[in-house]
Structure 1
Amino acid sequence: MSSILKLVGAKVRDIRKQKGWSQELLGEKAGLHFSYIGGLERGEKNITLLNLEKVAVALDVQIHNFFSYSKDLKGFDNDTLVNETLELLLKLNKSDLKKVNTIIKEFI
């Protein structure tokens, strides 16, 4: 099974557990069967974008949150740094993001 499936599944599980929800409750809120949620969290299901959107809406998070796992990547210094930087940039408003973009362009 693909490592991306495992990472996304683990992120879904982490967010679900932070909310104190069971797989059954998430499945109910997302309109998906609880066994599908279990397979997703174990990285066994190749989830479609439509179902990923259902899970995101149910969990009240943006889809990109399922792909923010820099803390889960060990031994990938450059990848981790890029992911950590991306996570910070995604939190900025448009005005601040433009400023950071200008600084990076000047630096590079």
Structure 2
Amino acid sequence: MQRQRAISGSAVLLVAIAVVAGTFSGVAAAETRSGGTVVVEEGETVDGLSTFSGTVIVRGTIDGNLDGAAGSVVIEESGVVTGDATLGGDSIRLAATANVGGEDVNPRNHPTK
């Protein structure tokens, strides 16, 4: 009888862990892309983006953080990054006014390389 309770208790614990893990799986699920040019197209939404590429172009929405390394990063006028942008690269260009971290960023007020 005690053995059945132990097995039953273990099964309940495993189910609880699976439910909790499923709840938080989207939190750390940033997409990773690499290659010569990485483009988030207008109308496309990704849940966070980690990238290692020559060029990153954001025309769509990154719902979360933009992290990684790239030779150049371009956030077009239609591009939105809802989190932080932490990038290493030679140049970052904001076309007109971009939205990064929930704030409109005007390149005339934030000079880039």
TM-score normalized by the length of structure 2:
0.24
Higher helix share: 1
TM-score normalized by the length of structure 1:
0.24
Which entry has the higher C-alpha Rg, 1 or 2?
2
